[in-house]
């Protein structure tokens, strides 16, 4: 099997399903997923949680950001330093303006926001399976970032997406970093340990 071709096929399939949800459906599902994620995260007061700014029709993290702030979490957002580098995270306080950056104009905190290392990462994705493997958008940012963070200390990664993005099985390559938990608008589940 050509893994790259299969990942491309599964990405297109899952993204097509996500787009078909429509704006109203995605908004309602994003609110429901925020409740699932907050319950799954456990005690988060004073812990640093890295979210992501949604891109195109990704799940909206704004409802979750509001709930996490109310629960006392410290929030962070990823910053792309260079194409082949891990992500950097900057603290995201409510009053810090976000700056659309890069080719895709994804909002991120500016350089005046302090760098911060998250305890918990909400990971965006195009497709996922029940084992916790995910297909991103092809640049490998989260795989590199999770590998680096996990080499330094324990960190929890939670895949955050709509249920319709689930596929039967994601083909796995050696560099693929699975998440520890998946959260959708319908359910949250921990994935098992890996060999």
pLDDT tens digits, 79-92: 998 888 999 999 99
Report d(CA 163, CA 130) in Å as an integer. Answer: 11
- Tens of pLDDT along 65-118? 999 999 999 999 999 988 889 999 999 998 888 888 877 788 999 999 999 999
Average pLDDT of the chain is 93
Contacts of 190 (CB under 8 A, 6+ apart): 180, 181
Backbone Cα Rg of the chain: 16
- Tens of pLDDT along 9-33? 999 999 999 999 999 999 999 999 9
Higher pLDDT, 137 or 192: 137
According to CATH, the superfamily of the domain at 3-190 is: NagB/RpiA/CoA transferase-like (3.40.50.10420)
Higher pLDDT, 189 or 138: 189
**Taking residues 177-194, what's their average pLDDT?**
90
Higher pLDDT, 191 or 104: 191
H helical segments located in 42-129? 62-70
pLDDT band at 53 (very low <50, low <70, confident <90, very high): very high
**pLDDT, position 195:** 42
CB–CB of 126/11 below 8 Å?
Answer: yes
The pTM (predicted TM-score) of the whole model is 0.93
- Tens of pLDDT along 115-135? 999 999 999 999 999 999 999
**pLDDT, position 95:** 85
CB–CB of 158/183 below 8 Å?
Answer: yes
DSSP state of 138: S
Task: Give the burial string for 133-167 (b: 16+ CB within 10 Å, else e).
Answer: bbbbbeebbbbbbbeebeeeeebbbbbbbbbbbbb
Higher pLDDT, 166 or 42: 166
**What residue segments make up the domains of the chain, in order of their start?**
3-190
**pLDDT, position 194:** 52
């Amino acid at each position: 099997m050509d893994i790259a071709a299969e990942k491309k096929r599964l990405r297109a399939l899952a993204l097509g399903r996500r787009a078909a949800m429509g704006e109203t459906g995605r908004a309602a599902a994003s609110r429901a997923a925020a409740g699932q994620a907050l319950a799954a995260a456990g005690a988060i007061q004073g812990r640093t949680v890295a979210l992501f700014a949604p891109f195109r029709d990704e799940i909206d993290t704004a409802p979750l950001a509001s709930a996490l702030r109310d629960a006392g979490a410290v929030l962070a957002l990823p910053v792309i330093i260079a194409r082949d580098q891990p992500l950097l995270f900057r603290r995201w306080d409510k009053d810090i303006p976000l700056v659309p950056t890069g080719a895709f104009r994804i909002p991120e905190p500016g350089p005046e926001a302090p760098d911060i290392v998250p305890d918990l990462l909400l990971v965006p994705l195009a497709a996922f399976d029940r084992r916790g493997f995910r297909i991103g958008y092809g640049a490998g940012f989260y795989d590199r970032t999770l590998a680096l963070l996990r080499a330094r200390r324990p960190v929890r990664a939670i895949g955050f997406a709509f249920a319709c993005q689930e596929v039967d099985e994601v083909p796995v390559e050696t560099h693929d970093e699975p998440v520890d938990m998946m959260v959708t608008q319908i359910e949250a589940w921990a994935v098992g340990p890996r060999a």
